[in-house]
């Protein structure tokens, strides 16, 4: 029987660098988001652990640091199988049989109160505290963590795969995560009490998509979790968790729920003439059963209901439009702050921009470009692949290099484009630099040192680099799609009685000509209209893309979820 041991730990004094990434879900007593969690903390034990403060150290730390000097007994997540050996469910089983945990009914709900941070600034208000189970594929350093661990999570690579592709047992790995997430609130003392049945499950993408299905198929028919709600967050609809139909039996779902996950590939996508195309689609099941659905921008929430952006799910998503919304991701404004960034040559702010030109000169010097503070410096940071529009850049560079500009690129991906970057640097020694790979300090220095950031993505559910760029007074030129369209306002010099409005430029359609036209308009504004350019910079720097702002919008969706009746299928 596959099983997981669950124990409770108190702190993480260290985080060993040699261990692999594991999967986790994080129940938290109030709304919180990834940037607030601090540094990641990984573990090497074969346990599922809750920590009251800090993260996780090694297995010995997790098991030895116990309350009042007494080791706490753990719980086993056991797989239930039918007579054929198929998994039909998972349950957490107490080893001690002890209960003695307060009911969540004994814990008062704290209504909103105004608070200030350590520097006296007013924090964003929260209206109500909720019991939230947030499923993530990364570990972070916060209170009340629960880590799901299994031997299948101990391997080189990232949570999804390695250099050879996706792991072949991902269905099992993520199914285990989802079953553990559903069982833990019922039995684990989180913050001194069981979360119980009234909680909100926040499932990210297909990897956590089985949770809404489990609530609807396994729990609610038996009167369990009837007061809980599920929120599905779609970051990238292109990834859906599609498996052969024969693997449905491994999800631990009743046979009659097959239709919720049923998926048939179109004829052109089948591997051979005898292939019936029958499959199961985890994300489809989540879309069918989730109480509410979110994407990471309003623009993307519309795009996924179209034939072009829906990846075969557009009709289903359109049918659920009444519960579909979009909220832009926040950014870590402590890490990305030009007034204190440790990676850049000089500091500056919206009130004093003088340090930005010093960052530009330092970047030109570091990369071996002519140090010309008056020359427009264009930057690109991202994966070198088709989605990011790297092919457009490749076609446009010969024309762009005829202008008096410099261009810096940072990224890795398709070997074809990596080699193209190297060759282009050799051809345009005084104008072009390509850094193959990814380097966090360099990404900060490019963001601070460039005048313009180019993002010609074919689709972009949210996008973060344009948000970093605006915070650093670097003007984005982006394809008008998804989160890029939502966050970058095209400059209009005639608005606001001639003072202008806008934070950059968007272009459409997605073509070399359209992109070059937008870039050249930005370059002309930079050269000939300095006051307008400074206004664009400052408006971008003043935009509020903090997680506090996003949290307020999330709270509103949480409230809507509990107003509506839960999904019953």
Domain at 353-544, CATH from 3.40.50.150, 3.40.50.11720, 3.40.50.2000, 3.30.70.990:
3.40.50.2000
Give the percent of the chain with pLDDT over 70.
75
Residue 100: its pLDDT value, please? 41
Which of 499, 511, 531, 500 is CA-nearest to residue 456? 511
Cα–Cα distance between 351 and 361 in angstroms, integer? 20
Length of the chain: 569
Cα–Cα distance between 282 and 533 in angstroms, integer? 47
Fold match between 27-326 and 353-544? yes
Cα–Cα distance between 152 and 95 in angstroms, integer? 23
Q: Could you report the per-residue pLDDT of 282-323, keeping only the tens digit for each?
A: 999 999 999 999 999 999 999 999 999 999 999 999 999 999
The residue ranges of every structural domain in the chain are 27-326, 353-544
Contact 291, 568 (CB under 8 A): no
φ, ψ of residue 248 in degrees (nearest 5): -55, -35
Give the Cα-Cα-Cα angle 75, 78, 83 (nearest 5 degrees): 160
Cα–Cα distance between 168 and 85 in angstroms, integer? 20
Region of residue 85 (phi > 0: left; psi between -120 and 50: alpha; otherwise: beta) = left
Cα–Cα distance between 404 and 548 in angstroms, integer? 41
Count of CB atoms situated within 10 Å of the CB of 115: 10
Cα–Cα distance between 47 and 538 in angstroms, integer? 49
Region of residue 120 (phi > 0: left; psi between -120 and 50: alpha; otherwise: beta) = left
φ, ψ of residue 181 in degrees (nearest 5): -65, -35
Which of 123, 138, 159, 151 is CA-nearest to residue 5? 151
Residue 78: its pLDDT value, please? 57
Q: 301-319 as b/e, with b when 16 or more CB fall inside 10 Å?
A: bbbbbeeebbebbbebbee
Residue 64: its pLDDT value, please? 29
Q: Could you report the per-residue pLDDT of 23-72, keeping only the tens digit for each?
A: 444 443 333 333 333 333 333 222 333 333 333 333 333 322 333 334 44
Residues 6+ apart with CB under 8 A from 354: 348
Which CATH class name applies to 27-326?
alpha beta
Contact 533, 525 (CB under 8 A): yes
Residue 492, strand partner residues: 501
Secondary structure of 247-288 as H, E, C letters: HHHHHCCCHHHHHHHEEECCHHHCCCCCCCCEEEEHHHHHHH
The least confident of 64-68, 339-343, 508-512, 548-552 is: 64-68
Helix (H, G, I), strand (E, B) or coil at 195: coil
Reported as a pLDDT band with limits 50, 70 and 90, residue 152 is confident
How much is the average pLDDT of 5-18? 37
What's the mean pLDDT when you consider all of the chain? 81
Which of 529, 538, 544 is CA-nearest to residue 494? 529
Prediction pTM value = 0.78
What residue spans of 368-487 are helical by DSSP H?
Answer: 390-400, 415-427, 440-449, 465-471, 482-487
Residues 6+ apart with CB under 8 A from 127: 111, 112, 555, 559
The least confident of 39-48, 312-321, 389-398, 404-413 is: 39-48
Helix, strand, coil share of the chain (percent; to 5): 35, 20, 45
- Using the predicted structure, report yes or no on whether residue 1 has a pLDDT greater than 60: no
How much is the average pLDDT of 388-397? 97
The least confident of 25-34, 183-192, 218-227, 528-537 is: 25-34
Which of 76, 255, 95 is CA-nearest to residue 176? 76
- Using the predicted structure, report yes or no on whether residue 561 has a pLDDT greater than 60: yes
Q: What is the largest CA-CA distance in the chain?
A: 77
Task: Give the CA dihedral 213, 218, 221, 227, nearest 10 degrees.
Answer: -70
Which of 505, 532, 524, 381 is CA-nearest to residue 449? 381
How much is the average pLDDT of 378-401? 96
How much is the average pLDDT of 224-249? 93
The least confident of 69-83, 118-132, 281-295 is: 69-83
Which tokens belong to 297? 């921008």
Residue 45: its pLDDT value, please? 25
| CB neighbour class for 476 (10 Å; exposed up to 12, middle 13-18, buried from 19) | buried
The least confident of 14-28, 53-67, 105-119 is: 53-67
Residue 80: its pLDDT value, please? 59
Q: Could you report the per-residue pLDDT of 194-212, keeping only the tens digit for each?
A: 777 888 999 999 999 999 9
């Amino acid at each position: 029987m596959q099983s997981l041991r669950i124990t409770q730990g108190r702190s993480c004094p260290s985080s060993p660098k040699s261990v692999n990434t594991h999967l986790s879900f994080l129940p938290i007593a109030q709304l919180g988001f990834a940037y607030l969690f601090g540094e990641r903390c990984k573990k090497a034990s074969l346990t599922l652990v809750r920590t009251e403060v800090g993260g996780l150290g090694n297995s010995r730390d997790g098991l030895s640091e116990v309350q009042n000097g007494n080791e706490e007994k753990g719980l086993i997540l056991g797989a239930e199988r039918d007579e054929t050996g198929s998994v039909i469910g998972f349950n957490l089983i107490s080893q001690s049989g002890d209960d003695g945990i307060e009911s969540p009914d004994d814990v008062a709900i704290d209504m909103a109160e105004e608070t200030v941070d350590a520097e006296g600034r007013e924090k964003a208000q929260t209206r109500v505290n909720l019991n939230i189970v947030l499923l993530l594929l990364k570990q972070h350093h916060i209170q009340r963590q629960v880590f799901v661990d299994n031997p299948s999570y101990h391997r080189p690579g990232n949570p999804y795969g390695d250099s050879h592709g996706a792991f072949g047992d991902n269905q099992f790995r993520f199914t285990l995560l989802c079953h553990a997430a559903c069982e833990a609130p019922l039995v684990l003392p989180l913050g001194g009490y069981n979360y119980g049945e009234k909680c909100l499950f926040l499932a990210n993408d297909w990897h956590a998509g089985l949770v809404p299905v489990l609530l609807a198929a396994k729990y609610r028919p038996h009167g369990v979790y009837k007061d809980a709600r599920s929120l599905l967050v779609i970051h990238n609809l292109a990834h859906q968790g599609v498996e052969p139909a024969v693997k449905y039996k491994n999800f631990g779902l009743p046979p009659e729920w097959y239709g919720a996950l049923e998926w048939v590939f179109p004829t052109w996508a089948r591997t051979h003439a005898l292939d019936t195309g029958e499959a199961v689609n985890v994300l489809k099941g989540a879309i069918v059963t989730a109480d509410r659905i979110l994407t990471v921008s309003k623009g993307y929430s519309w795009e996924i209901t179209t034939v072009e952006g829906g990846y075969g799910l557009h009709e289903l998503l359109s049918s659920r439009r009444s519960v579909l919304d979009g909220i832009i991701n926040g950014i870590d404004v402590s890490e990305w702050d030009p007034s204190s960034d440790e990676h850049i040559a000089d500091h500056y702010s919206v009130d004093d921009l003088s340090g930005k030109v010093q960052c530009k000169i330092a970047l030109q010097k570091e990369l071996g470009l002519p140090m010309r503070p008056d020359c427009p410096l264009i930057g690109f940071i991202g994966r070198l692949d088709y989605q990011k529009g790297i092919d457009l850049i490749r076609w446009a560079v010969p024309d762009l290099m005829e202008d008096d500009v410099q261009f810096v690129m940072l990224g890795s991906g398709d070997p074809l484009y990596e080699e193209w970057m190297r060759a282009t640097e050799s051809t345009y020694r005084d104008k072009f630099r390509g850094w193959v790979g990814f380097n966090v300090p360099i990404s900060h220095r490019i963001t601070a040192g460039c005048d313009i950031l180019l993002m010609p993505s074919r689709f972009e559910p949210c996008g973060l680099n344009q948000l970093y760029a605006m915070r650093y007074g670097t003007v984005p030129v982006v394809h008008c799609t998804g989160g890029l369209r939502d966050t970058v306002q095209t400059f209009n010099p005639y608005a606001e009685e001639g003072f202008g409005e806008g934070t950059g430029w968007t272009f459409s359609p997605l073509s070399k000509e359209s992109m070059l036209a937008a870039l050249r308009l930005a370059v002309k504004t930079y050269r000939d209209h300095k006051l307008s350019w400074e206004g664009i910079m400052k408006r971008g720097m003043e935009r509020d893309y903090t997680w506090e702002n996003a949290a307020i919008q999330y709270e509103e969706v949480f409230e809507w979820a509990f107003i509506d009746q839960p999904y019953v299928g």
